Amino acid sequence: MHYDEGKEKFIQAWGTLGSAWGINKAMGQIHALLLISEEALSTEEVMEQLQISRGNANMNIRALMDWGIVSKAYKPGERKEYFTTGKDVLELARQVSRERRRREIEPVMRVLEEMQQVEGDTSEVAHFKTVTKDLEGFTKQMDGALDKFIRSDKNWFFQVLMRLMK
């Protein structure tokens, strides 16, 4: 397989995978391109390499910046904006986890906590409160595990992973 073919395959696969961790395909493809690029890229370079419009490129680069996984890079003497991403895969996973926690888990936890304020003396209300309380407990446990992962260092993560694989 030639480099160009491998690069295209990787970008397409990463774009598809992106939807599994909460971003759209174009965001995933832009991130993949920045991940495998040795140098920071301009919007124009992203547009050209991925064959996407300026609006699509700008909107998705900004969204990746909002996620905290893409940042601006400055090149001396250049007026264009350049963008880059970290190459540490574990740190990327931590940042994606932080962001998904903020966007998905925390709002669900707030709603589940509110559900314990539902009033009524019927069995239906009791059942509702039991189920939502169980969901709240499970969500808190998952949040605790996610928090440990987010705060972990590489050694801790790989030690736990190795124990799980035994």
* Co-location of 30 and 81 in the same domain: yes
* Co-location of 93 and 132 in the same domain: yes
Across residues 94-98, what is the average pLDDT? 90
At residue 153, the pLDDT reads 74
The per-residue pLDDT for range 57-74, each reduced to its tens digit, is: 999 999 999 999 999 999
Q: Which domain holds residue 64?
A: 3-85
* Co-location of 33 and 101 in the same domain: no
Last-in-domain residue among 37, 62, 85: 85
Last-in-domain residue among 39, 64, 85: 85
* Co-location of 111 and 50 in the same domain: no
* Co-location of 28 and 42 in the same domain: yes
The number of folded domains in the chain is 2
Geometric angle at alpha carbon 166, from 95 and 145, rounded to 5°: 30
* Co-location of 108 and 124 in the same domain: yes
Last-in-domain residue among 85, 101, 135: 85
* Co-location of 81 and 94 in the same domain: no
How many Å apart are CA 55 and CA 70, to the nearest integer? 17
Q: Could you please report the per-residue DSSP string of 100-166?
A: HIIIIIHHHHHHHHHHTT----SHHHHHHHHHHHHHHHHHHHHHHHHHHHHH--HHHHHHHHHHHH-
* Co-location of 28 and 11 in the same domain: yes
* Co-location of 123 and 62 in the same domain: no
The per-residue pLDDT for range 100-127, each reduced to its tens digit, is: 899 989 999 999 999 999 999 999 999 9
* Co-location of 7 and 81 in the same domain: yes
Residue 164 has pLDDT above 80, yes or no: no
* Co-location of 116 and 69 in the same domain: no
Residue 161 has pLDDT above 80, yes or no: no
* Co-location of 80 and 31 in the same domain: yes
At residue 158, the pLDDT reads 61
Domain CATH code at residue 65: 1.10.10.10
Whether residue 97 contacts residue 121, with contact meaning beta carbons closer than 8 Å, is answered with no
